Amino acid sequence: MSALDWKNTVLLDGKAVAAHRRARLASEVLEFRAKSGRAPGLAVILVGDNPASHIYVKNKIKACEEAGIASFHIPLAATVTQEELHKEIEKLNTRNDVDGILVQLPLPKGLNETAALETIAPHKDPDGLTSGNLGLLLAGRKRVAPCTPFGVMKILEHFQIALEGKKAVVVGRSNIVGKPMSLLLQEANATVTMAHSRTKDLASVTREAEIVVVAAGQPRFLGREAFGKGSVVVDVGIHRVPASETLLIGGKKSSICGDVRYEELLGHVQAITPVPGGVGPMTIQMLLENTLTLSKLGASL
């Protein structure tokens, strides 16, 4: 891939967008503290010893500190029962210093993630994943939107990518990304198609789109053949590559990849999110922004 090809594609740098928004968020948090007499509070429940989850939680705690949000780390053993987990969540539901409760996923085998999430009071759900908050989103009266798709929307907004009247395809139909992503794009007046593992001739569907959000959960799933020239591609996937398969992208080695074959799209699409450094940083940023939103609603500020 030549230097010219690289320059022809705009990199949608989510890390830079998050940093820009973090500075503004810190100012808003200070304003909230002045009015309410306390900092917004985010509690994170981490069950077990999943290494990736530990890294994610560490990053979230650091982000809270940067924004001036109080963070409460609740570590639980992998042997915790469903009932014990629910009791911990219910305790947090009643705490006045906690505005948001996050249960770090995935949970250890044997624990029901849906049941755990539904135990979170909807007004303390910064992930926006309880049925109460998803229902409000569907009804067009959102309290908060799920962090990853909300972050995608803010990336597109930051780079002034018009959505109204555009053809958009969302690949993936999970409650965490795919479904709410389609709703947010529709709210922005895009014409949205949802595609998934059972879609026939998926590449022919995505090629017709001007905006494609890929949340398939499969590493390097789609390449140049699946995207129209000049389209905008948002890659939600993030996967660790085995050491024996380390990638060479743009002359640099990478042990992380997304759902698309990034290097094939440079110079072909109008804009693309890198992995890492694209959607991931914005997911954490929107978690913080949602926490502040919930704290304001709780304090009626």
Q: Note the pLDDT tens digit of each residue in 13-48.
A: 999 999 999 999 999 999 999 999 999 999 999 999
CATH architecture observed for domain 38-121: 3-Layer(aba) Sandwich (3.40)
pLDDT in the model for residue 182: 98
Per CATH, the number for 146-280 is 3.40.50.720
- What is the Cα Rg of the chain in Å? 20
d(C-alpha 300, C-alpha 298), whole Å: 5
Question: CA of 98: how far to CAs of 42, 123, 255, 294, in Å?
Answer: 6, 11, 37, 10
Q: What is the pLDDT of residue 255?
A: 83
Give residue 51's pLDDT. 85
Which residue, 12, 245, 282, is CA-closest to 148? 282
Query: What is the average pLDDT score of the chain?
Result: 93
- What would the pLDDT profile of 105-164 be if each residue is shown by its tens digit? 999 999 999 999 999 999 999 999 999 999 999 999 999 999 999 999 999 999 999 999
Q: Which tokens hold the place of 271?
A: 């804009």
Q: What is the mean pLDDT of residues 2-18?
A: 77
**Which candidate, 301, 286, 292, places its Cα nearest to that of 124?**
292
Q: Of the candidates 17, 96, 18, which has an alpha carbon nearest to the alpha carbon of residue 59?
A: 18
Task: Report pLDDT for 108.
Answer: 95
Query: Residue range 57-72: average pLDDT?
Result: 94
Count CA within 13 A, CB hemisphere, residue 31: 10
106: left (phi over 0), alpha (psi -120 to 50) or beta: beta
- Residue positions annotated with a catalytic role: 60, 104, 127
Confidence of residue 1 (pLDDT cuts 50, 70, 90): very low
Integer Cα distance of 256 and 266 in angstroms: 17
Strand partners, 260: 222
Q: Identify whether the C-beta of residue 254 lies closer than 8 Å to the C-beta of residue 246.
A: yes
| pLDDT at residue 168 tops 90 | yes
Write out the residue limits of the CATH 3.40.50.10860 domain(s) in the chain.
38-121
| Number of Cβ within a 10 Å radius of residue 75 | 13
Return the pLDDT at 4. Answer: 35
pLDDT digits (tens, 9 = 90+) for 228-270: 999 999 999 998 887 666 666 656 677 889 999 999 999 999 9
